[in-house]
Structure 1
Amino acid sequence: LDAPKQAPAPAAPQAPRAPTPAGDVGREERVKMTRLRQTIARRLKEAQNTAAMLTTYNEADMSAIMSLRNEYKDAFEKKHKTKLGFMSFFVKACVHALQEVPEVNAEIDGDEVVYKRYVHMGVAVGTPTGLVVPVVRNAETKGFAAIEKEIAELGLRARDGKLSMADMQG
């Protein structure tokens, strides 16, 4: 006699998604996933949970940005009362990439894909007690000066221990 087959183990329940701040709700598009896409998403999540972690490093030629920064940093600081660093270039490049490929700026919520029409960009900041990652909200609406000022302000608050949990979510 054959032993009865066991039913497959149920999928682990998904962690509830943090509520979307009221100001972001209208800037999201929800698309219901097909059953095939739901299966693919579940299997990718299982693989993420069980696969070995890997870090990849890529080199980028920053000479053009370094030249541009060197040429304009004094005038920029005089006009905007803040230094022109490299982080605003990185943030603007990320914003552009996320707008070009909106699937990367999305998340799965239950059986829906939530496409975000806004960019909240985490920026790592070193503090005496370790690294924290406050968030520059609505980075897609900001210019270089606004991004640099916000990063400087978040960095100062991080080093002073004055960041809130809301500053690091999004």
Structure 2
Amino acid sequence: AAALSPAVRRIVDEEKLDSSKISGTGKGGRITKGDALVAAQDRAASERTDTDSGTATEMAGPVESLAPAAKDGRVVRKKMSPLRRKIAQQLVMAQHTAAILTTFNECDMSEVQALRAHAQEQFTKKNGLKLGFMSFFVKATVAALKAVPAINGRIEGDDFIQNNFYDIGVAVGTERGLVVPIVRDADKKSFADLERDIADYARKAREGKLKIEELQGGTFTISNGGVYGSLLSTPILNPPQSGILGMHKIMERPIAVNGAVVVRPMMYLALSYDHRIIDGKEAVAFLIKVKEGIENPKTLPIDF
């Protein structure tokens, strides 16, 4: 078994956990701090459930008597799916371990829409798939991460780990829940490669065919609530990452440009980040860099 880091060892010792029974999600199956915290939460939840069940039965008799409304269908109790339980654990862990703060900006989508419309036919004919918006945001995000590298890092115990590679998680909603497959080395991929990866992951997610290794090891996440009509949100971190970018619905809104009121297709952007290692100035600088890339897409490494 791989040696435990000091931070993981401390949690294992304090919570009296059996490290051989913890599934490691780190590199080479290594147990991360997040894995240890989830294991501790699982055991605590199990102990609470056992205690609560025993107490309730003693006080109220058979369990069936606790929910008489269930008999006429007004209340339905069912087990959460393993995926939903895992999502719940990750979200609670994120809230408990990070100092999450969100900052906002907005971007004018006019130039990206025009460029995409102009290139769409040739791009589709050449690559066999459509040019979407997500590839532009991945490219703009990589540029922003290079400009503000702390957001591409993470905390591990008492150490700060700086990632000098760009594995970008792209959140995909399915009927079973939200999953975040990883686009590896996004900085080295063409727009067509990015669109192909994203489309393949979306298909696998819908079919429930994603492999565990396709969901592990990302350095930053992008979530697009706009596909569901969300105008604004505060996305939650995907541990142990330190940042997540929220995209939203494109809406035509009046804005001031050179002293005149014009109507433009606008999108709100949100960056949630771990304030323990990222200052507000850095978070704002990151969002401005993303905004610049989207509003001036020709500054991105366009390859189509």
2:106 alignment partner, SS class: coil
Distance 1:54 1:108 in 2: 16
Unmatched runs of 5 consecutive residues or more in structure 2: 1-6, 13-23, 29-94, 218-304
Aligned: 1:137 with 2:175: no
Closer, same or farther: CA 107–70 of 1 in aligned 2, 3 Å:
same
Report deviation, 1:55: 5.5
Report deviation, 1:167: 1.2
Are 2:145 and 2:152, in contact at CA under 8 Å, matched by a contact in 1? yes
After superposition, what is the alpha-carbon deviation per residue over 1:61-111, rounded to whole angstroms, capped at 9, x for unaligned? 111111110110111111111110000001111111111111111112233
Which residue does the alignment assign to 2:214?
167
Which structure shows the bigger proportion of residues in strand conformation?
A: 2
Which residue does the alignment assign to 2:145?
98
Identity of aligned residues (%): 49
Distance 1:50 1:104 in 2: 17
Closer, same or farther: CA 103–55 of 1 in aligned 2, 3 Å:
closer
Report deviation, 1:50: 8.2
1:69 alignment partner, SS class: helix
Report deviation, 1:125: 1.4
Q: TM-score normalised to the size of structure 2?
A: 0.40
The structure whose Rg is larger is 2
Which residue does the alignment assign to 1:75?
122
Of 50-59 and 60-69, deviating more is: 50-59
Are 2:168 and 2:186, in contact at CA under 8 Å, matched by a contact in 1? yes
Letter in 2 for 1:85: G
Distance 2:213 2:99 in 1: 31
- Following TM superposition, the consecutive aligned residue runs of length 4 or more in structure 1 with deviations greater than 4 angstroms are 11-15, 50-57
Unmatched runs of 5 consecutive residues or more in structure 1: 1-10, 22-47
Distance 1:118 1:99 in 2: 10
Are 1:14 and 1:110, in contact at CA under 8 Å, matched by a contact in 2? no
The RMSD of aligned alpha carbons is 3.0
Letter in 2 for 1:63: S
Distance 1:109 1:52 in 2: 14
Match of 1:146 among 188, 193, 197: 193
Match of 2:27 among 6, 20, 27: 20
Tell me the number of residue pairs that the alignment of Structure 1 and Structure 2 aligns: 135
Which residue does the alignment assign to 1:88?
135
Which residue does the alignment assign to 1:120?
167
Which residue does the alignment assign to 2:112?
65
Letter in 2 for 1:68: L
Report deviation, 1:117: 1.1
Which residue does the alignment assign to 1:7?
none
